[in-house]
Amino acid sequence: MCRHIAYLGPEVAIGEIVVQPEHALFRQSWAPRRQRYGTVNADGFGVGWYAPADPVPARYRRAGPIWADPSFADLARVVRTTALLAAVRDATEAGADGEAAAAPFAGGPWLFSHNGALRDWPRSAAPLVAGLPALDLLTLEARNDSAFVWSLVLHRLRSGDDPGRALADTTAALAEAAPGSRLNLLLVDGGSAFATTWGDTLWYLADRPRGAMAVASEPYDDDARWTEVPDRTLLSATRAEVLLTPLKEPCT
* Residue 228: φ, ψ to 5°: -80, 140
CA distance 183 to 149: 9
Which one from 2, 174, 195, 206 is the annotated catalytic residue? 2
**Amino acid making up residue 57:** P
Q: Other C-beta atoms within 10 Å of 130: how many?
A: 6
> Which residue from 241, 233, 205, 229 is spatially nearest to 24, judged by alpha carbons?
205
Contacts of residue 20, Cβ cutoff 8 Å, sequence gap at least 6 = none
Question: Edge-to-edge strand order for the sheet containing 182-188?
Answer: 105-107, 110-117, 182-188, 193-197, 233-237, 242-246
Reported as half-sphere exposure (CB side, CA atoms, 13 A), residue 33 has a value of 14
- How does DSSP assign 139-169, residue by residue? T-SSSSHHHHHHHHHHHHHHTT--HHHHHHH
- How does DSSP assign 79-135, residue by residue? -EEEEEEEEEE--SS--S-GGGGSSPEEETTEEEEEEEE-TTTTGGGHHHHTTS-HH
End-to-end CA distance of the chain: 26
CA distance 101 to 190: 22
Active site residue 2: yes
Q: Which residues are catalytic?
A: 2
